[in-house]
Structure 1
C-alpha cells in the first residue's frame, strides 16, 4: 500500500490557519482581561467616591451650626468645621453671670466631668464664635455636675441668645477636609481617597437661612486613566442655633 505524507504547501497552510486561530483566541482573551481590569478600576473608584461622600456627609450633618470655614491655598481646597459632641438646653442666670445647662441623650454616668479641651457654644453665627476669646463660647474642661447631678453650671455672659435656648458642646479641635494639589482627598492630613482631580473638584457652603440649616455642596471628580466620574452631592446641616 502506498503511503502519502504532507506536502510543504499543506504544512504551510496548516501553520497559517493554526496561527490565525491562536491569534483570534489570544485577542479574545486579551479583550476579556482588559474589560475585567477596567471594570475593577471603575468599581474601585466608585467605592472610593461612595466612602468619601458618605463619611463627609455624616460628619457635616452633625456639625455645630455655622461652624464652617472655606479656604484655598498650599494645603488645597479645604472645608473646616466642628463636630457636635453633645447638645442640650440652657438657662442664663444674669444675676450671677452663669449659665446652667443640661445635656440631652447623654451617654455618661453621673457625676460627670467634661474632658480637657471641651467647649460649649451658644447661638454661633460664624466660625469665630467657637474660638477662644469669643463671648459665645466657653471652656468647660473640668466642669462637673452639680451636687444633685442634675445639671452643669459655668460662668458665662454670651452677647446673644439662642431662641430655643440650645447649646452645643464640642472638642476644641476642628475637622478639615482638603482636596490637595496631589489629587487626594484628606481628612486632617489622613488620606480618605485618591484620584480626586484638584482642578475640577470643589466645596461650597451656603449659610443658614430661615427655611433651612447650612448647606454644603460637594463636587468631586474622580479620574482613572481616560475615564472620569463626576459626583455632585448636597449635605444639609441638621442643627440650627
Structure 2
C-alpha cells in the first residue's frame, strides 16, 4: 500500500508563521495608508477653511463703509460695516441745519430700513446712537424724484455731523464682527443690534457662524486708521495649526472706500 503524504508539524508551523508575517505586513501597510489619507484630509480641510476665511474677510473689508473698522480684544475681533450701495448726494442736511429728507443719485433704488451715512470721521460717529446730529440715519421711505434721483426720508429733523469732501454717501444694513474664540474658532456674527461699546460682549452678538478652526494666535487683526485722503489698511494675520505644524498669513487689505 502507498502511504499518504501530508504536512509535517514543522511545515505547518512554518506556513502559519509566514502567513502571520504577511498579514502583519499588509495590516501595517494598510494602516499607514489610512493614516496618510487621514492626515492629508485634515491638512486640506484646514487649508480650505483658512483660504475661504481670508477671501471672505478680504471682500467685506474692501467694501466697508469708511471709518467703520474697529479692532478689539487685543486683535481677536474685527468689526466693520459692509456697504450695500453708494453714490453722490445732491442735497442733505448738515449741522446746524436740520431736515427730515435728502436727495441722492443712485443707479438702483435705495432700500427702506437700511441706513445712510455721510462724512463719518471716526467709528464712534457711526456706531454711537446720537440724537439730532449723527453720521448715520435710518431710511424710512424712498421716493423717485426723477431719473436716478431719489428722495430719502430720514425721520425727525436731523443733520449729518460732517460733509463729505467727495459728496459721497454710503448705505448699509448692519455691522458684522469676525472674532476668534479661546478654542481657536473664527466666528462671524451678523444681524445684531448696534453696539456702542468698542468691545461688545459675545452674548450681545448672538449666534455666530463658524468660518474656520485651529487658530492659535491672539493678534489676528490689526489696522491703520484712515485719513481724509487715504483709506484704512487692515492686516489679517491668523496662525493655523494642524498635526503639530503651523502656518501664518500676513495679508494686507485696503478699504477701497474713502469718506
Q: Give TM-score scaled by structure 1 length.
A: 0.82
Query: 1:169 — aligned with what?
Result: 171
**Which residue does 2:87 correspond to in 1?**
88
Matched residue, 1:141: 139
- 1:218 aligned residue (203, 214, 236): 236
- For residue 180 of structure 2, what is the aligned residue in structure 1? 179
Given the superposition, is the C-alpha separation of residues 128 and 168 from structure 1 closer, same or farther in structure 2, using an over 3 Å criterion? same
Is the deviation greater in 174-183 or in 221-230? 221-230
Equivalent residue runs for 1:72-221 within 5 Å:
72=73, 77-92=76-91, 97=98, 100-106=102-108, 108=109, 114-116=111-113, 118-130=114-126, 131-133=128-130, 135-145=133-143, 147-148=145-146, 150-152=149-151, 157-171=159-173, 173-188=174-189, 189-200=207-218, 202-208=220-226, 212-221=230-239
Q: Is the 8 A contact 1:184 1:191 kept in 2?
A: no
Which position in structure 2 is the counterpart of 1:43? 44
Count matched residues: 232
Provide closer, same or farther for how the CA distance between residues 200 and 10 of structure 1 changes in structure 2, counting only shifts above 3 A.
farther
Cα distance per residue 1:45-78 (max 9 Å; x no partner): 11111221121111111110111111118xx821
Alpha-carbon distance in 1 for matches of 2:178, 2:232: 17
Q: Encode CA deviations 1:101-132: one digit per residue, 9 max, x unaligned.
A: 324331x3xxx6x423x322222221112133
- Aligned-pair CA distance for 1:30: 0.7
Asked whether the 8 Å contact 1:223–1:229 carries over to 2, the reply is: yes
Maintained 8 Å contact 2:216/2:240: no
Of residues 124-133 and 196-205 in structure 1, the stretch that sits farther from structure 2 once superposed is 196-205
**Contact 1:219–1:232 under 8 Å retained in 2:** yes
Measured against aligned partners, the alpha-carbon deviations of 1:10-35 in whole angstroms (never above 9, x if no partner) come to: 22222112211111111111111111
Return 5+ residue gaps in structure 2 as ranges: 190-206
Contact 1:67 1:82 in 2 (8 A): yes
**Cα pair 2:145 2:151 within 8 Å, conserved:** no
Q: Does 1:21 align with 2:22?
A: yes
Q: 1:185, 1:30 → 2: CA distance?
A: 33
Contact 1:122 1:168 in 2 (8 A): yes
Is the contact between residue 66 and residue 120 of structure 2 (CA under 8 Å) also seen in structure 1? yes
